[in-house]
Structure 1
Amino acid sequence: MVSVGDTAPDFTAPKTDIDGDIEEFTLSENLDDAPIVLAFFPAAFTGVCTTEMCTFRDQMANFDDVGATVYGISIDTPFTLSEFAEKNDLNFDLISDTNRNIIDAFGIDMDFADLGVYNVAKRAVFVVNADGEVTYEWVSDDPGVEPDYDEVEAAASEAEAEAPVDSA
C-alpha cells in the first residue's frame, strides 16, 4: 500500500468534470494543481459514499482556501459518475477507475464477497504535493467509516505550505 513519503503512483484515467464532460486525466500532468486530494470511495449511489462525497462538496470552500484540488475516485464508469455528480451537485471532478488500475497501484482494493462484489476501492484519502509525494494517507478497512475531513484539510494546507515557491 502507498504510504506517506512514497511517490504517488502515476495514472491516466477518464475524468468527469463538474459540467459532465469526460476527458483523460493524468496525475503527473496535474501536479501544478497540488496539493491534490484523492478521495477513493467504493461505489457511487451508495449510502456512505454519497455522504462522503457530499461532505467534500459542502467543505469545498475550505479546500479552495488552502489551494487544494479534490478528486473523487471509484470503479464506476465515467457515465455513472457524471450522473452521480449531477444528482448530488458535486463541485469537484470524479475519476473513473473501471479497470481498477489505480486502486491496484495504491494497494487499496477490497471485496464484498458476501455480495459477490470484488476489487473495489477501500475508502481512502491521499494528499499529493507538487513533487508527487504522498504527504497524507488515510485508509479504512471498514467501508462504513468516513475520513476526518478537518484532518484532510489540515494535511492539504500543510502540503500547500511546503510547496516550492516559484521565483520566476
Structure 2
Amino acid sequence: MVDVGDEAPDFTAPIANGGVEEATLSDQATPVVLAFFPGAFTSVCTDELCTFRDRLGNFEDVGATVLGVSVDLPFALNEFRTQNDLSFGLVSDSDREIVDAYDVRMDFADLGVPGVAKRAVFVVDDDGEVSYRWVSDDPGVEPDYDAVREAAAAAASDTVEADGD
C-alpha cells in the first residue's frame, strides 16, 4: 500500500471537469488532494464530495488542487458534478489502474459490485511524495476534513520553504 513518504503513483486518466479531458497527476498544481470514493450518486460519497465542495476555499487558500477519484465513467461523473455543483475535477478510473496503484480497491460483495475504490485520501506534495494518507475499510466513514486541510497546508508550506531556499 502507498504510504506517507512514498512516491505517489503517477497516472493519466480521463477527468470530468464539465467536459472530458485527460489529466496527469504530475501536471497538477501541488499539493494535490486525491479523494477516492466508491461511487457517484451514493449517499456517503455525495456527502463527502459536497463537503469538499463546501470547504474548497480552505484548500484553495493553501494552493491545493482537489481531485475526486472513482471507477465511474467520466460521463456519469460529469452528471454527478452538475447535480451537486462540484467545481473540482473528478478522475475516472474505469480501468481500475489508479485504485490498484494506490492499493485502495474493494468489493461490495453483498451488493455484487466488484472493484470500486475504498474511501481514501492522499495528499501529494511538490516532490511527488505522499505526505498524508487516510484509508478506510468502512465505506460509511468520511475523512477528517480538517486533518486533510492541515496536511495540504503543511505540504504547501514545505513547497514554499523549498522554493525560498
Shorter-chain TM-score: what band? over 0.9
Q: How does 1:29-108 map to 2 (within 5 A)?
A: 29-30=27-28, 33-108=29-104
CA-to-partner distance for each residue in 1:108-129, whole Å, 9 max, x for gaps?
Answer: 1111111111111000000000
Q: How many residues align?
A: 163
| Residue 166 of structure 1: how far off its partner (Å) | 6.1
Q: Residue 16 of structure 2 aligns with which residue? A: 16
| Residue 29 of structure 1: how far off its partner (Å) | 2.2
Determine helix, strand or coil for the equivalent of 1:39: strand
Tell me which stretches of 4 or more aligned residues in structure 1 moved more than 6 Å.
none
Q: Residue 150 of structure 2 aligns with which residue? A: 154
The whole-number CA distance in structure 2 between the counterparts of 1:71 and 1:125 is: 10
The whole-number CA distance in structure 1 between the counterparts of 2:59 and 2:11 is: 23
The whole-number CA distance in structure 1 between the counterparts of 2:130 and 2:61 is: 20
Aligned-residue CA RMSD in angstroms? 0.9
The whole-number CA distance in structure 2 between the counterparts of 1:25 and 1:85 is: 17
Q: Residue 6 of structure 2 aligns with which residue? A: 6
Q: Residue 23 of structure 2 aligns with which residue? A: 25
The whole-number CA distance in structure 1 between the counterparts of 2:15 and 2:124 is: 18
Deviates further, 20-29 or 91-100: 20-29
Among candidates 129, 133, 142, match of residue 133 of structure 1: 129
The whole-number CA distance in structure 2 between the counterparts of 1:100 and 1:26 is: 15
Determine helix, strand or coil for the equivalent of 1:83: helix
Q: Which letter does structure 2 place at the counterpart of 1:165?
A: D
Q: Which letter does structure 2 place at the counterpart of 1:90?
A: L
Determine helix, strand or coil for the equivalent of 2:2: coil
Determine helix, strand or coil for the equivalent of 1:71: strand
The whole-number CA distance in structure 1 between the counterparts of 2:86 and 2:39 is: 15
Q: Residue 110 of structure 2 aligns with which residue? A: 114
Determine helix, strand or coil for the equivalent of 2:7: coil
The whole-number CA distance in structure 2 between the counterparts of 1:53 and 1:155 is: 18
Amino-acid identity (%): 63
Q: Which letter does structure 1 place at the counterpart of 2:34?
A: L
| Residue 34 of structure 1: how far off its partner (Å) | 0.3
CA-to-partner distance for each residue in 1:56-91, whole Å, 9 max, x for gaps?
Answer: 000001001111100000000000000000000002
| Residue 16 of structure 1: how far off its partner (Å) | 1.1
The whole-number CA distance in structure 1 between the counterparts of 2:16 and 2:143 is: 23
TM-score w.r.t. structure 1 length?
0.95
